[in-house]
Amino acid sequence: MSAFLDRCRAIAGAAFVLDAPADMAPFLRDWRGRFTGSARAVLRPGSVDEVAQLVRLCALDAVPVVPQGGNTGLVLGSVPDASGSAVVLSLARLNRIRALDPVNRTATVDAGVILQQLQEAAAAQGCLFPLSLAAEGSCTIGGNLSTNAGGTGVLRYGNTRELCLGLEVVTPQGEIWSGLRGLRKDNTGYDLRDLYIGAEGTLGIITGAVMKLFPAPKASITALAALASPADALRLLSLVQDRAGASLTGFELMSAFSLELVARHFPQLPRPFAGPHPEYALLEISSSESEAHAVALLEGAIGAAYEAGIVRDAAVATSVAQSRGLWQLREHIPLAQAADGKNIKHDISLPVSRIADFIAHAEPLLQQAFPGCRLVCFGHLGDGNLHFNVAPPAGIGNEAFLVNQESVNRVVHDAVVAFGGSISAEHGIGALKRDELARYKSPVELNLMRAIKAALDPSNIMNPGKIL
Ligand code: FAD
């Protein structure tokens, strides 16, 4: 084993092959602190060529490789299992923006570039890189691609898959595939790029990417609408889409209990309404003309929704600064949940038109099975993506409730599938949802996935035990 590590050190340099437990610890623990794996070493290569050489070495010695970016993933994909047989291969040192082309509207980046770093580099050129999520200060483009991350901009710009034009990948055999093409049209055979996106490191290691940039809007303005029900949130979404089209850049749903948690744990944040309402929608309109134009569009849409009897009350920001305050309410929901204790989380998607019916169906089923349980339901309604989290009844300890995880999952995921939805909207499968995937995918689909894995990684060294 030490001969293996010696060879790793000869490739990456001794300082970048970590095997002391204290040095490895942050790379082995998952972001939510639910699981800590074990590894032979953490490898931190500094170039694409070093990545390829290290993978060739691992292939030779049949050492499993767990690729890791910012380690912010939420499904136990980026940490090794407990066996101690794998190495973690961190892309963090590959952090260069290789080129930025404002005319082609593309950025060519190393996989370890932090998302926020790319957002800022694009902004400095008057462009927008629209992927945005709460972990953007530490997640990487390689991780975003490998999980096909979503976030708050999907409604207008699509998820990470739709933001990528080209990839560079180190294969499980240690070859380098350079597909860094900045083309919007390229029909030259099978789309290998799309195969690696969302593969969670099970097919190869993404080392570079060409990402799309967009014109930066002049202003994005937000309103918080108080509503009677999720059905009214859907009516509001349709109304605003009809009026504002592509100017609608965000549409988030938040239940009363979600915002109650935020008010309890973050009392310093704004409270736009005097009393509670059953549901809230956070809307964002962006304008390529001016702040005043965005405010006018938003006020017009909210006015029409009032007249149609859809909205009970609304707070419309009149400046970008006020908009930030409203967004903070949405962004603090996960933090408020964490402060309140553990709960059973679901990251699900449904056809947008069926969301209200799904909630009306699933909530009573949960209450019947787990009386008094509290639902923290919020999410990217415009994309059909709900975070449908189930917290213990008041007065019941977290640990006592978490033993119900399997049966709670069954109620929620069975209902999701019955409504034509997906058990993982944006976080992926990892090790956490592997058994759920096996339960809900058809044998045909699973066999096709296994065939792809076997063809590209016949020795099964790339992130084994994840997804399949
Ligand atoms: P990691 O966690 O390091 O890895 C994730 C997976 O990708 C693992 O399977 C890993 O093996 C693989 N991987 C990483 N880099 C590479 C590479 N270069 N090549 C091949 N495989 C690789 N996700 C959303 O989609 N939307 C959200 O709104 C969202 N909000 C979040 C909020 C918080 C506070 C947190 C902590 C997480 C959130 N996430 C969200 C989840 C997470 O941030 C994303 O999944 C992100 O894309 C992971 O990026 P990462 O660099 O941290 O990847």
Confidence tier at 450 by pLDDT (50, 70, 90): very high
Neighbouring CB atoms inside 10 A of 434's CB total: 17
Q: How far, in Å, from the CA of 226 to the mean position of ligand 1?
A: 32
If 0-12 CB within 10 Å is exposed, 13-18 middle and 19+ buried, where does residue 414 land?
middle
In the chain, ranges of CATH 3.30.70.2190 domains? 219-332
Q: Is the CB of 426 under 6 A from ligand 1?
A: yes
Q: Is the CB of 139 under 6 A from ligand 1?
A: yes
Residue pair 167/211 in contact (Cβ under 8 Å)? The answer is no
Q: Is the CB of 150 under 6 A from ligand 1?
A: yes
For domain 341-426, the CATH architecture is: 2-Layer Sandwich (3.30)
Yes or no: domain 219-332 corresponds to CATH 3.30.70.2190 = yes
Q: How far, in Å, from the CA of 76 to the mean position of ligand 1?
A: 10
Q: Is the CB of 65 under 6 A from ligand 1?
A: no
What residue's CA is closest to ligand 1, atom 38?
135
380 Cα nearest atom in ligand 1: 28
Q: Is the CB of 153 under 6 A from ligand 1?
A: no
Q: Is the CB of 112 under 6 A from ligand 1?
A: no
For domain 2-90, the CATH architecture is: 2-Layer Sandwich (3.30)
pTM: 0.96
Yes or no: domain 97-215 corresponds to CATH 3.30.465.10 = yes
Q: Is the CB of 297 under 6 A from ligand 1?
A: no
Percentage with pLDDT > 90 across the chain: 94
Asked whether residue 159 carries a pLDDT value surpassing 60, the answer given is: yes
In the chain, ranges of CATH 3.30.465.10 domains? 97-215
CA atoms within 13 A on the CB side of 386: 29
In the chain, ranges of CATH 3.30.43.10 domains? 2-90
**pLDDT (tens digit, 9 = 90+) per residue, 222-270?**
999 999 999 999 999 999 999 999 999 999 999 999 999 999 999 999 9
In the chain, ranges of CATH 3.30.70.2740 domains? 341-426
Q: How far, in Å, from the CA of 210 to the mean position of ligand 1?
A: 18
User: What is the per-residue pLDDT for 397?
Assistant: 86
